[in-house]
Amino acid sequence: MQKILIVEDEKAISSVLESILSDELTDYEFVISEDGLEALKQIEKEDFALVLSDIKMPKLSGTELLKKVMQEKPETTFVMISGHADIDTAVHCLKDGAYDFISKPVDINRLITSVKNAPHKGHLQQTNQSLKSENSTLKKKVSKKYQMIGESPALKKIQEMIEKVAPSDARVLITGPNGAGKELVAHAIHAQSERSRGPMIEVNCAAIPSELIESELFGHIKGSFTGAIKDKQGKFELANNGTIFLDEIGDMSLVAQAKVLRALQESKVSPVGSDKEVKVDVRVLAATNKDMQQEIAAGKFREDLYHRLSVIEIYVPALDERKEDIPLLINHFSKIISEEHGTTQKEFDADAIAALQKFSWTGNIRELRNVVERLIILGGNPVSAADVANFVRK
């Protein structure tokens, strides 16, 4: 059972607060502390869903307690109460991290409303902070992975499109063959957008079974289907205030397409098994390797959803359409792969690079990276045309 800590040096007041709140919040256990120092020790030992604290107390004031806890456990939710309050004190408490500030004599209805809402607010803040932290860490780890390498006219055109599109909230459909770099374009758009501090959530629509795609996108409630043992947030909710990237959108079922269309129209989602609607603020990027006009004609993709997704369309060409970028890509992959293997970077001589440029790259950039890794492992230093002939079968 979650706990609420009441920090109040007057026993009569703390008893009244506990009595009132325990009738309203039956799912919580209440703990009382008589001064700020004692409260600090209790908070260091265990986590509380909420701390309801007076300001003027012996040993350690409520404002000092708030500041110390925010340094050590910033996810802790505080509601401050004071009979000696002024506007400056209230503002300072809120700036220091308090959820609410209530003056004495306490308005009971306002207190109950604030205390009921505060734990949920704290949970949302913690979840949001966790997502931001996870997203920030992810960006640092994969920044090199998502660099767009090349100087070809085709790539420069894409980069110019990204610069124009990224600052807006326009939906973008990214098309092109497998392995060409559609995911890189999506990450570049997010990174250069106003939502870059928010999460970027990726969904591979082709990798999720059709019967689970709705749950994955919109979440579900406990018991809504076999295996739903607890409530689960969907990807749209997790991407709130950020970006959701729907990769391989052409493989999504028609049922799921209808729900995505509704989510785009109304900015709301409904978890599987629930009548509740959750408002979301999400930018949608999508990608596909399919010819969407053919998919629409075959009745496999909704035309209205296609038009919703393709406000802007960016085509990512096959590697065979920009072979002049191959030398730069080889050098880039050689550096990254050598770092991953903990070895000195290998060079590729001019004849090796020329040989690789002559191949047709049906697997595009993904295939080129695999070939470069193979040559780094098996070839000499520098990698020669003979190594290419011996270890690359085309």
Nearest in space to 162 (alpha carbons), one of 321, 316, 288: 316
The three-point CA angle 335-338-342 to 5° equals 135
Question: Torsion over CA of 64, 66, 67 and 71, rounded to 10 degrees?
Answer: 140
Would you mind telling me the total number of residues written for the chain in this entry?
A: 394
Give the domain ranges of the chain.
Answer: 3-125, 150-317, 320-391
* CATH number 3.40.190.10 is the correct assignment for the domain at 150-317: no
Provide the CATH number for the domain formed by 3-125 in this structure: 3.40.50.2300
Q: Name residue 313's beta-bridge partners.
A: 173
pLDDT tens-digit readout, 20-48: 888 888 888 999 999 999 999 999 999 88
Answer for the pair 186, 194: CB distance below 8 angstroms, yes or no: no
The two domains 150-317 and 320-391 share their CATH topology (first three levels equal): no
pLDDT in tens, the chain (394 residues): 788 999 998 888 989 889 888 888 888 899 999 999 999 999 999 988 889 999 988 889 999 999 999 888 888 888 888 876 566 777 778 778 888 888 877 778 778 877 877 665 544 444 444 444 444 444 433 355 578 899 999 999 999 999 999 999 999 999 999 999 999 999 999 999 989 989 999 999 988 887 788 888 998 888 888 777 888 889 999 999 999 999 999 999 898 899 899 889 989 988 888 888 889 999 999 999 999 999 999 999 999 999 999 999 999 999 999 999 999 999 999 999 998 888 889 999 999 999 999 999 999 999 999 999 999 999 999 999 999 999 998 7
Q: How far apart are CA 100 and CA 107, in angstroms?
A: 13
Q: SS3 for the chain, per residue?
A: CCEEEEECCCHHHHHHHHHHHHHHCCCCEEEEECCHHHHHHHHHHCCCCEEEEECCCCCCCHHHHHHHHHHHCCCCCEEEEECCCCHHHHHHHHHCCCCEEEECCCCHHHHHHHHHHHHHHHHHHHHHHHHHHHHHHHHHHHCCCCCCCCCCHHHHHHHHHHHHHCCCCCCEEEECCCCCCHHHHHHHHHHCCCCCCCCEEEEECCCCCCCCHHHHHHEECCCCCCCCCCCEECHHHHCCCCEEEEECHHHCCHHHHHHHHHHHHHCEECCECCCCCEECCCEEEEEECCCHHHHHHCCCCCHHHHHHHCCEEEECCCHHHCHHHHHHHHHHHHHHHHHHHCCCCCCECHHHHHHHHHCCCCCHHHHHHHHHHHHHHHCCCCECHHHHHHHCCC
- CA–CA separation, 220 vs 231, rounded Å? 6
Radius of gyration of the chain (CA): 28
pLDDT at residue 114 in the model: 78
Position 86 scores a pLDDT of 63
Can you read off the two tokens belonging to residue 190? 């997010």
Question: Residue 222: CB partners within 8 Å, gap ≥ 6?
Answer: 228, 229, 230, 231
Q: What is the pLDDT of residue 120?
A: 55
Domain 320-391 part of CATH 1.10.8.60: yes
pTM score:
0.63
Q: Are 139 and 49 in contact (CB under 8 A)?
A: no
